[in-house]
Each structure stands twice: as structure tokens, then as C-alpha cells.
Structure 1
Amino acid sequence: MLYHEPEPLKSAMPLNGTIALWNARKISSTNIAVLEAMKWRLSPKSKRSKTEPFCVMDLGYVHDQYEHWEKTLPGVTPFYELVLAQGIPAARILFANPCKSPSDITFARNVGVNRLTFDNEAELHKIKQLFPESQLILRCFASDPSATYSLSAKFGAHPEASVRLLECAKSLRLNVIGVSFHIGSGARDPNAFEIAIESSRRIFDAGIRIGHSMRLLDIGGGFSESTFEDMAASIQRSLDFHFCDVNVELVAEPGRYFAAGAMTIACEIIARRDAKEAPPSAEEASNMLYLNDGVYGTFSSSLFEPSPHPRVLRASGVFYPQPAAGDQVKNILWGPTCDGVDCIAKDVELPERLTFGDWLYFPDMGVNYPCFLAFTDLMPAYSTCLATGFNGFASDREIIYISSNPLTIGFLTKANKIMYKEQTH
């Protein structure tokens, strides 16, 4: 394996990080590729800081997820909110926040993003004043009570209110083109999609009766990898039953589905306190490991989420491609700040010998535009975007972009830097 230090390259879509390329014929597993990137990052061959946390982003995983989406939900097109700066045409963007500031509406008009959502009458009057030629999508109530994060308390018009809003939009001579819903982030119940799609068809028909040109259905996001197959089957059945007789554009807003499993975060243990040294207030005797990242960094949702579980990356100078063996003991993982709230996880079983200078890594910590994390059977979709500079710690994270899929290597070679490239002969 030959290593090359970064070389600047021109890019039409620069990435905010360094790039690592592997020959995909040799490294076909995402996990292996990620581990190789982290190992190189901490090796003497790398001139990068050895004391800062960093992230590894596998674009090959994202590509694989997209292919899986196309095979499983072939008629549903992913749309996005926050990709205008990446060169995505404005027509491919939905402004999916139903309650927007006047300046945001004006900005959308100026850049050509003309698909806006709404769920209240005041928003309609605001849009009438600022962007009357826009194409509107009515955000309707939908909910999965078992979802990690419910959005129904904040957004979505109930069926009765939806009809009144469609009538109001017609009286204001505004153009409503469709219906949207979001059953919640990290949804688990496939029946919630069936209920939402059935309700959407009734509202869709009401819009047609009122005189709107209804032609779009946005089924939202919240998809997680572990439940996607069941969700997709439920969605497809419902769409085939309720929307088989109309010509409708089907779109979705997947965030965590694409991003969650693509990101891995590596952290150094900067201090250790043995269980016997735990303060009297400790709930139970546990070793305490202090990391160089915490809840004010990329673990902010640990304050209200099930805890992430790390794996050993390097201990006593030895790298562990497989889970490290040895006596497992309970640990409390603390962040680096002075705040007692800065606790990443409790009751984390790790090898007893871990101490300062060793490294842990947290898989499935995907970063993307959605703003919440979910663990257990779900995976996070919000991590680095929520980092802060509290206590003087840096909020930015180095992101190493890699590809475990040969079809995305071409994209990486057009990015702004190459960290290293494996040569084959």
C-alpha cells in the first residue's frame, strides 16, 4: 500500500474535508474501509493532528443506499431542502418548513425555489404578499406514536382544517399543487404510512373539487435502515391502492436513511478515573473515561437519547479490526468540558485496560440535514451539525471522505484533496 499526502485538485463541488481513496476491488466492505481510514489517520504517515476527534464519511454507503431506495421504492423520488449551494437545480428542492420567516420566503423566490409547504392560514397570507406565484404543498397531520421524534405537535393540518385551508388558498388565488406529511423521525410503525396516505388521498380529492391542480404527494422522511423494508412495502401497497388512478408525482424527504450509517466518529480517551475513585454521588461504581468529544460536540443528543455504544479503535498502540477481547467492565463516558451534564453514555461495557491515549470509535453517527439522533435499532442523522464551541473547544470536525464503492470513486477524485490512494499493479 502506497500513501500520498494531499494534492490539491479543482472541483465543481468541493467537499469540506480530506479525501481517502481505496481500490474497491481490494476493500469492498464499508467497515474495513472505514477502519483503514481511521488507522491511517492516526499513523505516523499522516501529518494530521493526533489529538483531535475526527469523522470518516463513506460515500460508497450513500450510493448503496440510493440504489436500494430505487429498487425498493422505484416511483418515489428523493427531494431535498438544503442542497442549493451544491449545484442542485432549484426545481429539485422543496422548502418543506410550513412556518417560514418573510425573509426566507423572499430568498426562496429570488433563487427560484418555488415549491413551498404551508399548514396555516397566516402562512397563506404571507405567501400571497411575498411569493404569490409559488407552487404550494399542504402539510397535513400524520403521526407514528412509536417514532423516535414526533413532529405532529408542531406541524400538520388536521383533515377538517385542511379543507378550509384549500378553500382559503383558492380565494387568495394561490396555486396548491399537492399534499405532504411526515409521520415522525425514526418511524417504526408501517401502518402509520398507510393511514397517512389514505388521509392524503381524501385531501387530494378535496383540493381537486375546490379547483386546485393537485399533482404531487410528498410522503416525508424519517426512514431508518432497520425498518425500511417493511416501511417501503407498506408505502407501495398504499400508493398502489389509493393513488393508482391519478397522475401524481411521488416524492420523499429521506435524511437519516442515506446519512446515518455513512458516518463514523473517532475519539481519544484523554483521562481515566477508576471505579474506586468515583465520587460519593456516583450512581454506582464505574470506571470513568473522559473523551475529547462530548455532548457539546458531536454527541449532543446523548442528553435525550439512548446511548451510543463505542468500539475500541486502538489500545496500547494496537489497532483492533475486530471487537477487542478482554475483561469487560462498565464505564461512564464523559465529554471534555467542565459541565457535569457533558455525559455521553453510562453503563458502557469496554475492556478494563483502557486508559488515556487509547482511541474509541462510534459507528452509525451519520451527519445530514435532519437535526436529531437516534440509536438502538435506529441510527443518528444529526451529529456534527449540532456541535458547539462551548468551553472553548473547537466545534468543527475534520471529515475524511472515503468510498467503499468503485462507482463513487470517480466523484471523490474530482473533489478538492486526496489524502491517500492505494495503488494496484
Structure 2
Amino acid sequence: MEFHIKDEALAEKGRLRIEWAAKSMPVLRSIKERFEKEKPLAGVRIAACLHVTTETAALAQTLQAGGAEVRVCASNPLSTQDDVAASLVVHDRIPVFAIKGEDKETYYKHIHAALAHRPHITMDDGADLVSTLHSERQDLLAHIVGGTEETTTGVIRLRSMAEGGVLRYPIIAVNDADTKHLFDNRYGTGQSTIDGIIRATNRLLAGSTFVVCGYGWCGRGVAMRAAGMGAKVVITEVDPLRALEAVMDGYQVMPMAHAAPLGDFFCTLTGDIHVIRREHFQAMKDGAIVCNSGHFNVELDLEGLEAMAVSKRTVRDFVVEYRLEDGRCIYVLGEGRLVNLAAAEGHPSSVMDMSFANQALCAEYMKNHASHLEKKVYGVPEAIDKEIARLKLASMGVAIDALTPEQEKYLNSWEMGT
């Protein structure tokens, strides 16, 4: 079996961590139990370019239980948990191509390795796998029936491909499911980003000024958790509706040029390029801590910061100090990559339970329905979204009401008024 991981000897530690995560993933577990009986993915080859974490391992095991032949590679050079990768290889015989800290060349070699078994379905987180297929491995496109995409950044890229007429197969935007972005993006990103910042720095948030760049669902989550830790939260936005919502939620809203001199912590979550630029670094106070929790590190103008710095050194794990000419120091966490995965462990498994339940069920949906779909980006079918919510509530012991026949008739009629 082909694979490329850091160390097979880490496998037992990885297995224990995967088991720990799986205990908080009851929805995915129930899907796995059904998949084991029905084998709905028998004969399907899947290439999964995802963060190689304990939760991703549970997804890979579920797909394998359904009969799929799975290959896994990393969707970010710093997000791999090496013990998890080892466990998947050693205990589950799932080929993994991922090493935490891999360079860019190795990262793309791993993507090509994941594609080498000619997949029928792709699972992506950021669209690097799909982009590589369309630009460098078009010979493999004939085998592919469909795909899924996990995150906002990837959905943006894929919709651009679809609008440009270059997307060659249908893809489901898992990120757009209510059971994904309302929970994973908000509660998962919120908690795990703060976790990554605290693990990397051991700095106190209470009483600090915390600048959140972008008030989408991820930004909302980080702002909520930073405020809960006692920070004064400032939001920067380009969308007037989101900015207005942030104001109504009780946060200060201002342009980045005004926020730069005030912030003690800065976190970007926009999916766009150069959100914090050279002029912003120039205005920051000594000791400012800068990080990113959007998918790619391009949200920070690190080249501009490099050009400004007179020295650079690593002062803690995942903390690089840039000293400017006037003696001020700016600290960048996790090389500007996803701080929640670079410096911590990513989202809690209980929230990834819903996200990866979407992935598993959408893979099954793609196998059964792809031949009837156009080459564009689709939302998660409503039936799948509601079923996952129902299963999650049941696993939590939460019961809800059902409409009475009278209520159903009322909601479906127009005759009754005041």
C-alpha cells in the first residue's frame, strides 16, 4: 500500500485519539452502522483532500465501511495530526499522504498521490484538489462523477469555476448546509481559534482589544468567544449588512486602518487576500499578535511584513517574531495558516459530527444522482440537512414538537385571515 506519513510508530497514540473523538460523533456513527450493512459506496474510489485530524479519520472509516476505496491527503500543510495519519495507515489500511509542516512541493505531491487511484468522487476542503484536477490531471476527469466541498473558500473558488464554464463535474457545497455553517463555522471555529491562540501564546484575552476581520459565520463565532473571554471586540468588514449586524450585536465596527493601532490580537476570517497589509502592520503597537483562521495564509500580507522586518525569529512553537526598524515587534501565529489547526487540534468532534455526516451522506447522494446533475455547484439536499439535525437532536436527548393536522392545514392554506 502506498502512503507517505511522518512515522508509523505513532499509530497507537493516533488510534486512541480517534476513538476519543468518535465518542462525540454519534450521528456519523449511526451512518457508519448503516453503511456497514448496506455498502452504498461499494466500488467507489474517493480522493479526500481534508485536514487530517481525528474527526477526518472517523469520516474516512465511515466511507470505508460503506465499501469505498479511500485515499486521504492534507488540505493544509500545517493541519495534519501525524499520529492520526499513522493510525489510518497502520490500523485501517487507508492510504494517507500527509505530514505536518510539509513544504509546498510535498503538499502538491501528496495531492497527486491521492488522485493516483483515479477517483470517482472528490472530497475537498479549499478546492486545491479540484483545481489540480482541472489544471494538471484533466486525464482523470472522465472517471469522476461528482464531488463535495467542505469550506467557504473552496465554495467561492468552485462557484467561480462554474460561472466561468470550466467546472467539469457537479459538486455539492457541504459548507452551505445549515447543519454545517451554522454550527461548524460559528461554534467550531469560534472555540478552536481561541484555543489555538491561547495554546500558542498563553496570553490573557481579558481586557485586551481583539480585532476580528470579517463577520461571516466564522467571524461571528470568534467574536462571540473572544468577547466571552473578556476582550473588547472590534470588527472590520466590507459588507454593509454584516457590519450593521456586528454593530447591533454590540461590537465596535471600524476600518482596518483605524483598528490597526488599537488591537492586541488580530484574526482574519474572510477568505480574501491581503486583509491585513503592510500599512496596517506599520500602524500596529509593539507586541501585536496576528493570526488567520481563514483557509489560506494569503489573508495576511506576510511578504510585506518580511520586507519591513529587520529580524525574524521563532520565539515559541508556532510564534514568529518580526522586529521592525523602530524596535517594535509583531508576532505571527502558525505561519499565517489556520491557527486553530496549526497551533491546536481544530474543531471539537461533536460539531464536526454534523459536518462529516453531511460529507458521508452527500457522497452517497452523488453516487446515486450524479448522472442527473449538471456541472455546477449544488447545495446539500434539504432532506439530508434535516435528517442530520434530527439525528443530532436525538443523540442529545432533545425532543421537539410536531405540527398537528390543523397546523399543517393552516400553513398550507391562504383562506384563513384575522
Q: TM-score, structure 1 length as denominator?
A: 0.31
Between Structure 1 and Structure 2, which shows a larger proportion of helix residues?
Answer: 2
Instruction: Give the structure-2-normalised TM-score.
Output: 0.32
Whichever of the two has the greater Rg, that structure is: 1
- The structure whose RCO (Cα within 8 Å, separation 6+) is larger is 1
Structure with greater proportional strand content? 1
